[in-house]
Amino acid sequence: MSTTIIAREQNIDNTLKALGISAKNHGCSTGKSFFGSGPNIISHSPVDGENIGEVSTATEEDFRKVTETAAEAFKTWRMTPAPQRGEIVRQYGNKLREFKTELGTLVSYEMGKSLQEGLGEVQEMIDICDFAVGLSRQLHGFTMHSERFKHRMYEQYHPLGIVGIISAFNFPVAVWCWNTALAWVCGDVCIWKPSEKTPLTSVGCQNLWNEVAEANDLPEGISCLVNGDYKVGQMMTADRNIALVSATGSIRMGKQVAQAMGARLGKTLLELGGNNAMIISEHADLKLTIPGAIFGAVGTAGQRCTSTRRLIVHASVYDQVKETLQKAYGQIKIGNPLDEQNHMGPLIDKEAVDTYCKAIDQVKKEGGQMLIEGGPLSGAGYESGCYVSPSVAEVQNHFDIVQNETFAPLLYLIKYNTLKEAIAIQNDVRQGLSSAIMTTDMREAETFLSHEGSDCGIANVNIGTSGAEIGGAFGGEKETGGGRESGSDAWKVYMRRQTNTINYSTDLPLAQGIKFEL
């Protein structure tokens, strides 16, 4: 693919065609069947403001049809041997390889992240499919010795049933695949409610699945799609046929999902907000630190849940870091994300731009000092109204605006004197997703990773807060929700655990020595 700007009239239409996407699309699907009788969602690209296409949404009747089809498919899918389920996931991963350029380009154009990041997101889908294929041959349980004569005990895992997936706009396809690839090999079927801000990418993913399903004569309902707004999410959390809801998004949304699922004792996997900090020690290698901090702050225009929000900098290097940041920020190129020469693309929509501007105003009202004051960009190349320049502010951690995540390229500088103070500052927010320390001092690094260190689900040394490998479990603590996706043993959340005891003796010993004379 060329590294120059991809012109809408020359390339995007071909990209949509390759993924089976037209001007008007059915946003509900159980596989071969496409429908959706609710109002249409119009997808506008933040890159140039153009209308990319329309997607129909799910009504209650549509949703009922989806869940019934999924429930029927589960009866067949759960009995398919796990390695055979893994083979299907392998084929889907290969389908993603075949259409990586097209799907990555659509992710970039519909969401606004750089083309490199769009392609990287599809690569994450491919990687988790590879991981899931191997996992399909090692869904292990445990055996243990029984206290009873000629008895055997063991634990095994069974599929849950229907897994509901609610994804966010910032990773419109990867997070769905993190969930669904593992759920599929575990024997579950999935219903996906994507963000209403990025509906076309979901249609593209479903179209690719349908090709795999048709080639293997699979029943409808293993992968289902339901587009719509928050009302579709409410249908999902209220439906007792859905055993688990995995939700990625804001803390506000996550609390609503948790309350609705908790009311019926359903299971949840929550990946919510982040307020991530990087501690820059006096012993930091600044050649590593500054690029990591900048990418963490402005990558995806600050719209990652792992974006770096706070730099907690030792007093001895504070002025040097501040000066270097000012120089580096002056070199950031902002523009069409399909041009690989640009570092930063647009925010998702004009509402996000307004939120960003209000956050800058709030920083100043609370007494913060703007080191670099960004704002909306206009003129040639910025016609969509979604482009902004990034900001850096000197603040105190207790400021209300600092305590709340702003999903935009707004970076805070906070000074510290001792490591204990720095860790306390980092942990003194309600969110607990990602964290990092930049240091060449072994004792500092180990302290940061110890019980008295970071309270986040992710803690890094000498790499930034942004991004994660699929081999490790991804998720956070506190109001981030406590969920874990992707690697390690995250697969267990998609299954139910069962303890089994087998008596192969000719007697039936009863508890506490009780005997019946029969």
List, by residue number, the catalytic residues: 271, 305
Q: What are the b/e assignments for 280-293, b being 16+ CB within 10 Å?
A: bbbbbeeeebbebb
* Helix-helix angle 60-77:230-238, to 10 degrees: 50
Amino acid at 408: A
Interior CA angle at 482 toward 478 and 487, to 5°? 140
Q: Which residues neighbour 271 within 8 Å (Cβ) at sequence distance 6 or greater?
A: 175, 246, 247, 248, 249, 305, 474, 475, 476, 480, 481, 483, 485
Instruction: Fill in the DSSP letter of residue 426.
Output: H
Q: DSSP string spanning 33-83?
A: -EE--EEEEEEE-TTT--EEEEEEE--HHHHHHHHHHHHHHHHHHTTS-HH
Beta bridge partners of 458: 434
Query: Closest Cα partner for 428 from 402, 446, 466?
Result: 402
If phi > 0 it is left, if psi is from -120 to 50 it is alpha, else beta; for residue 112 that is left
For 383, other C-beta atoms within 10 Å of its C-beta total 13
Answer yes or no: are the C-beta atoms of 448 and 459 closer than 8 Å: yes
Q: Which residues pair with 51 in a beta bridge?
A: 44
DSSP, res 218: P
Whether the Cβ atoms of residue 281 and residue 444 lie closer than 8 Å to each other: yes
CA distance 252 to 164: 18
Q: Which residue, 57, 182, 85, is CA-closest to 125?
A: 182
Q: Which H helix or E strand runs over 119?
A: helix 115-135
